[in-house]
């Protein structure tokens, strides 16, 4: 195996996110669709004589190389299971905006597990890593395989789905981040009964992209709009510029728009760029 090992940790969007109810353990019961996109962080894994070292050059505030970083947490869980394994230096390059609803931290954690499994030749694979992933966060199990998938429970129970058609996207992330607990705790989420997920799945089998775009749904959107009204404006602008559909990503505040082509995505992105705002032209990946 060529070393150092490099892995991409992709971001995700949720074309459908339904909040079904509140659970006795304080979490919410969800039904959601996950889709990986071509915006990614990079992780490298290099052997060391001993110990665990983590570096995140130019790390955005709040995710420095300390114990709260999900990469370090994932590595500690993995190496706790295999104490006989020798050392590793993990380097993370962040491209995915933090606390943006794009799942960057969860994807980094899953990539760390996959990278260590590969480097130390422990042969666990996504299935063998699932329990460790669940301990790290609700979105982490999805990123062990990526692609298109249905999530239930807290989002950690994953059913892989056939790949969606390639979709050109514009992502717009306002300057301010939104912590996920604040969005759930706002009391403004809209509860539904799973019908949006079912409709989306039916249309994705039978019809084309424009139908998919018309079936986007996110029950957290009213909460995100209330906490950060700029997100409502971004969605409106995306639709006015001809996006086939637009939706807040997860708990936000990033909003994605579905473009008709890569050129259309680039032309929308040019118009929405502002100082402080981050705008990406990207695409879904299988
Ligand atoms: P979620 O919806 O899972 O809370 P998100 O997609 O909105 O996440 P992330 O970028 O994953 O946002 O960050 C969530 C929190 O996780 C951040 O506030 C950050 O402090 C913490 N965190 C820990 N490790 C990382 C990492 N490697 N990358 C990004 N955030 C991290």
For the chain, domain boundaries? 5-160, 168-283
CATH of domain 168-283: 3.30.70.890
Nearest CA to ligand 1 atom 28: 105
Q: What is the C-alpha to C-alpha distance for residues 41 and 108, in angstroms, rounded to an integer?
A: 7
**H-helix or E-strand containing 51?**
none
Which residues does ligand 1 sit against, CB inside 6 Å?
Answer: 62-63, 68-71, 98-106, 108, 137, 139, 180, 250-251
Q: Which of 139, 168, 173, 235 is catalytic?
A: 139
**Confidence at 207, pLDDT banded by 50, 70, 90:** low
Q: What is the C-alpha to C-alpha distance for residues 246 and 218, in angstroms, rounded to an integer?
A: 10
Using CA atoms, how far residue 41 sits from 60, 111, 182, 232, in Å, is 12, 10, 25, 27
Q: What is the mean pLDDT of the chain?
A: 93
**Confidence at 270, pLDDT banded by 50, 70, 90:** very high
What is the pLDDT, as a whole number, of residue 94? 95
Nearest CA to ligand 1 atom 17: 99
Q: What pTM was computed for the model?
A: 0.95
Nearest CA to ligand 1 atom 2: 101
Token pair listed for 79: 């190496």
* Mean pLDDT on 102-117: 97
Residue 7's DSSP bridge partners are: 43
- Quote the percentage of the chain above a pLDDT of 90: 80
| Residue 175 CA to ligand 1 centre (angstroms) | 16
**H-helix or E-strand containing 140?**
helix 140-143
Q: Are 89 and 48 in contact (CB under 8 A)?
A: yes
Among 106-115, 157-166, 184-193, 204-213, which stretch is predicted with the lowest mean pLDDT? 204-213
Q: What is the C-alpha to C-alpha distance for residues 182 and 170, in angstroms, rounded to an integer?
A: 25
| Residue 54 CA to ligand 1 centre (angstroms) | 17
Q: How far is CA 244 from the centre of its chain?
A: 21
What is the pLDDT, as a whole number, of residue 83? 82
Helices and strands: H and E segment counts in the chain: 10, 11
What is the pLDDT, as a whole number, of residue 286? 85
158 has a pLDDT exceeding 90: yes
Overall fold of domain 5-160: Ribosomal Protein S5; domain 2 (3.30.230)
């Amino acid at each position: 195996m060529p070393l150092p090992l490099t892995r991409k940790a992709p971001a995700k969007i949720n074309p459908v996110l339904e909040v079904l109810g509140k659970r006795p353990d304080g979490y919410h019961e969800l039904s959601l669709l996950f889709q990986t996109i071509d915006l990614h962080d990079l992780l490298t894994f290099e052997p060391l004589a001993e110990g665990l070292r983590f570096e995140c050059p130019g790390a955005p505030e709040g995710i420095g190389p300390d114990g709260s970083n999900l990469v370090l947490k994932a590595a500690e869980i993995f190496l706790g299971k295999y104490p006989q394994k020798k050392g590793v230096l993990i380097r993370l390059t962040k491209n995915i905006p933090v606390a943006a609803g794009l799942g960057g931290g969860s994807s980094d954690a899953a990539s760390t597990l996959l990278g260590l499994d590969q480097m130390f030749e422990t042969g666990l694979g996504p299935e063998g890593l699932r329990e460790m992933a669940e301990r790290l966060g609700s979105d982490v199990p999805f990123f062990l395989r990526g692609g298109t998938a249905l999530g239930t429970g807290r989002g950690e129970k994953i059913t892989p789905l056939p790949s969606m058609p390639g979709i050109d996207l514009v992502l717009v992330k306002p300057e301010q981040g939104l912590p996920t607990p604040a969005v759930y705790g706002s009391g403004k989420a809209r509860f539904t009964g799973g019908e949006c997920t079912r409709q989306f799945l039916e249309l994705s089998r039978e019809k084309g992209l424009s139908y998919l775009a018309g079936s986007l749904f996110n029950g957290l959107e009213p909460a995100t709009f209330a906490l950060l009204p700029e997100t409502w404006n971004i969605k409106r602008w995306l639709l006015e510029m001809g996006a086939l559909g637009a939706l807040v990503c997860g708990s936000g505040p990033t909003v994605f728009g579905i473009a008709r082509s890569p050129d259309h995505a680039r032309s929308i992105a040019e118009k929405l760029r502002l100082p402080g705002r981050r705008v990406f032209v990207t695409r879904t990946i299988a």
